[in-house]
Amino acid sequence: MIIVLIDIMQALQAADRAAPSSSSLEPLLDGAVRLQPGLIVCHTTAMALGAVAEERSFPGDRDYIHVNCQLAGRLEGTLGRHRLDYVPGQGSIGFSAGERFRLRHCAQFQNLAVMLTPAALRELAGDEICERLGGGLSPDFFARHAGLRRDALRMAGRVAGLMAAFPQQRLLLHAAVLDYLHRHFASFQPRTSVPALSVRERERIEAARALLLRDLGTPPTIAELARAVGLNQCKLKTGFRQCFGSSIYALFQKTRMERARELLRTHNVTETAMLLGYSNMSHFSAAFHKQFACPPSRAAHLP
């Protein structure tokens, strides 16, 4: 379920694109609080939506992914061609891509929605959200339903309670929202059957590996790799695990340290570190020790 907060969404979106957020938790509008840029929590009630007597139509949202948990009452309606029917404890995550809603609810209806921009969600959840949603965050419409989750409902109720009773307790509310997100994402079990890579995708991932390891002193970022081979970042990450059984960073670091061991046969520790792009000797030593369980000064004793 992707709850749209009637006509206040445009105001929320404008606020999120405005100047950097202040440290205050003063609500943006009734029932909505911005915790950080790209992260808003909303407690929506029947009074706010006003669709008890008859079904109402609301505009869709193109900026935020919505992570919802229905706290009370029942909601029915449609989102584009998708039917909505929710009761307390049901959770969902989705992006409406601007589709219009038609909703009707009972007088007891309440919902907690944490709204995140895709960038904020990736920053907070990283690879976990790609694995749990299967392939990452689509820029187009998507919706995933978690079913009834008592722990998520309990945590959503705690967030709503904190918003009402302690609106100025920034750390407490922020921590509760992150806990809610963790429990909510845990509702989506990682997909065990990952679609096989096509020949073209495998070729692109092989090309990304070659590009990644071309210069161990100045590696490209994951975003640069993805752009270079024409894959999105989530596809590139999951493809690396399928092809090489390792994350992109782990593969790079393993290769980098193996090269360090070779260089240490003919170079000292400082020279080796500089050749591999390290400006801090302690960082290089820690990485080498993590790989081989000995400091680089003792590399000659390695088999």
Q: Is pLDDT above 80 for 276?
A: yes
The crossing angle, in degrees rounded to 10, of helices 170-186 and 118-125 is 80
Q: Is pLDDT above 60 for 235?
A: yes
Q: Is pLDDT above 80 for 29?
A: no
Kindly report, residue by residue over 155-201, the tens digit of the pLDDT: 889 999 998 888 778 889 999 999 998 888 877 665 555 577 888 89
Kindly report, residue by residue over 52-98, the tens digit of the pLDDT: 878 888 887 788 888 888 888 888 888 777 777 777 888 888 777 77
Place of tokens 């869709």: 60
Q: Is pLDDT above 70 for 25?
A: no
* Whole-prediction pTM: 0.55
Backbone CA torsion sign across 292, 294, 298, 301 = negative
Comparison of pLDDT for 216 and 168, the residue scoring more: 216
Q: Is pLDDT above 60 for 137?
A: no
- Other CB atoms within a 10 A radius of the CB of residue 21 amount to 16
Q: In the structure encoding, which two tokens stand for residue 73, read together? A: 């009452």
Q: Is pLDDT above 90 for 301?
A: no
- 66 touches 115 (CB < 8 A): yes
In angstroms, the CA 279 to CA 55 distance is 63
* Residue 257: per-residue pLDDT: 92
Backbone CA torsion sign across 10, 16, 21, 27 = positive
Q: Is pLDDT above 60 for 27?
A: no
